[in-house]
């Protein structure tokens, strides 16, 4: 009897500890969520962060579970906020070593693919929204919606343009405007994280504003194939086709994932033909050009490339700086020193998504720990991102590029000649060696004919000053930077 009493008491004690743990987690999450609301703004926070439910901590691994109601929202939050959420929880609770973002077990459902005769999907609160119909049947009191299935933050106003993406941006604006575009389909080609998905969402928002009663179909190619197969198995192909062809704008992301699926390719081909014949608009996005899509039948390739193929190039350093500056507005009044922005723009070069993610992570860490944003903090907290992006540029490579640019012999980098036509290129090469390599002043001096470190310091300061006063010198340095970083 005593054992039973002790067992019951222990169970009650365990239950009490679990309840207290849940209360503590809830309190921590309230603080973290409030901080994210200030960083992200009310709209983004309400749509993506507020629905998060906190689960328990696996004591053995230090993993905290965070739950969202749908697969789409879980993936969206994981892609964009995983690092920030993980950092916030690590700071709040020392035992948390990682966060796991997933669909709540009680809400996980397979998307209901039954279709009404008019092409609408039955109501399903837990359905995956990565393939979303938007239009008259989802309108609110405002007459149109820009939030269902489309990220409200991905608009044309939020897209920063430069030489690398201006063609794609202008083409996307035409596709979403009131006037009928001169080309369709529009094919956006860009590497991961360069803005093609942003433009897809922006087109959707713009088109809904210009055509309030229109119907939009937005999905990934992978999701298109899943629903195609489901409809095929359920013997509902007629409904599936009717639904696809009832839309005014078709937006398909990651079209490269439709490779090798013959039946799905054929259906997409017929859908493109049907929509084009009715003057509808189509936009596709992929990480490669149509001609580079292996396993795609020639007829579909010809349809994908018959309109306009707009290439988004990797952002150059000037565009990366503009993007960082634009993102700082939402963190006001927090200040980020210019040398930190310059460092991030020059170092994180693989894609824009990593660049913005690095800035967000740095600012989140500074805000949550009360530290000031500095170059040292950036180097300490962004180690993984920086090491993945850092391309090893050597002093030999810099000297060779500078000599080619100024048309002087390579030996002049180490010579004792003092002619201006030789000295100035040599000083530029020293300056670039300090900016683009981790080498010290004495190490750089040794690579330039054994010169003293004070000579290198003088050259660096001189070129920095000339860049401020001399537009030609600044132009030369910018051109050399682009060559060396490309």
Binding site membership for ATP: which residues? Answer: 193, 195-197
Instruction: Report residue 474 as tokens.
Output: 């600044």
DSSP labels for 350-378?
S-HHHHHHHHHHHHHHHHHHTPPP-HHHH
Q: Are 396 and 444 in contact (CB under 8 A)?
A: no
Calpha distance 454→378 (Å, rounded): 28
Whose CA is closest to 310, among 178, 163, 156, 165? 165
Whose CA is closest to 365, among 320, 334, 329, 321? 334
CA 389 remoteness from chain centre: 15
Residues at the annotated binding site? 193, 195-197
Q: Are 115 and 121 in contact (CB under 8 A)?
A: yes
Neighbouring residues of 183: CB distance < 8 A, sequence distance ≥ 6? 171, 307, 308
DSSP 189: E
CA 239 remoteness from chain centre: 35
Can you point out the beta strands (E) in 170-303? 186-190, 216-220, 249-253, 281-286
Whose CA is closest to 246, among 267, 213, 205, 217? 217
């Amino acid at each position: 009897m005593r054992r039973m009493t002790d067992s019951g008491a222990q169970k009650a004690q365990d239950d009490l500890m679990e309840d207290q743990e849940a209360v503590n987690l809830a309190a921590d999450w309230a603080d973290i969520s409030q901080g994210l609301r200030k960083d992200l703004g009310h709209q983004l926070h309400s749509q993506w962060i507020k629905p998060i439910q906190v689960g328990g901590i696996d004591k053995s691994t230090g993993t905290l579970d965070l739950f969202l109601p749908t697969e789409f929202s879980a993936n969206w939050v994981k892609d964009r906020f995983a690092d920030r959420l993980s950092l916030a929880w690590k700071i709040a609770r020392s035992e948390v070593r990682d966060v796991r973002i997933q669909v709540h077990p009680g809400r996980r459902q397979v998307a209901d693919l039954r279709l009404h005769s008019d092409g609408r999907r039955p109501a399903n609160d837990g359905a995956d929204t990565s393939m979303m119909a938007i239009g008259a049947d989802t309108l609110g009191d405002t007459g149109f919606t820009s939030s269902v299935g489309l990220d409200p933050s991905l608009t044309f106003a939020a897209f920063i343009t430069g030489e690398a993406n201006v063609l794609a941006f202008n083409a996307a604006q035409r596709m979403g405007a009131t006037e009928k575009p001169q080309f369709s389909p529009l094919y956006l080609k860009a590497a991961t994280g360069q803005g093609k998905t942003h433009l897809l969402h922006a087109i959707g928002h713009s088109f809904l504003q210009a055509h309030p009663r229109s119907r939009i179909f937005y999905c990934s190619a992978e999701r298109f194939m899943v629903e195609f197969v489901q409809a095929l198995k359920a013997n509902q192909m007629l409904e599936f086709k009717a639904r696809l062809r009832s839309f005014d704008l078709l937006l398909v992301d990651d079209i490269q994932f439709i490779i090798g699926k013959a039946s799905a390719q054929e259906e997409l081909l017929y859908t493109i033909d049907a929509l084009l014949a009715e003057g509808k608009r189509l936009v596709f996005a992929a990480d490669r050009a149509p001609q580079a899509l292996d396993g795609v039948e020639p007829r579909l390739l010809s349809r994908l490339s018959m309109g306009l193929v707009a290439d988004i190039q990797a952002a150059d350093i000037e565009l990366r700086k503009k993007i960082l500056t634009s993102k700082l507005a939402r963190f006001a009044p927090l200040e980020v020193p210019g040398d930190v922005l310059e460092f991030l723009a020059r170092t994180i070069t693989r894609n824009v998504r990593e660049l913005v993610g690095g800035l967000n992570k740095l600012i989140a860490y500074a805000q949550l720990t009360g530290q000031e944003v500095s170059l040292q903090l950036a180097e300490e907290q962004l180690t993984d991102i920086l090491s993945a992006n850092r391309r090893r540029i050597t002093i030999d490579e810099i000297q060779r590029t500078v000599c080619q640019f100024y048309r002087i012999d390579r030996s002049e980098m180490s010579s004792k000649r003092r002619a201006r036509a030789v000295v100035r290129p040599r000083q530029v090469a020293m300056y670039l060696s300090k900016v683009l390599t981790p080498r010290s002043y004495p190490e750089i001096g040794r690579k330039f004919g054994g010169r003293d470190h004070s000579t290198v310091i003088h050259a660096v300061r001189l070129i920095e000053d000339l860049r401020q006063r001399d537009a030609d010198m600044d132009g030369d340095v910018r051109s050399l930077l682009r060559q060396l970083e490309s």
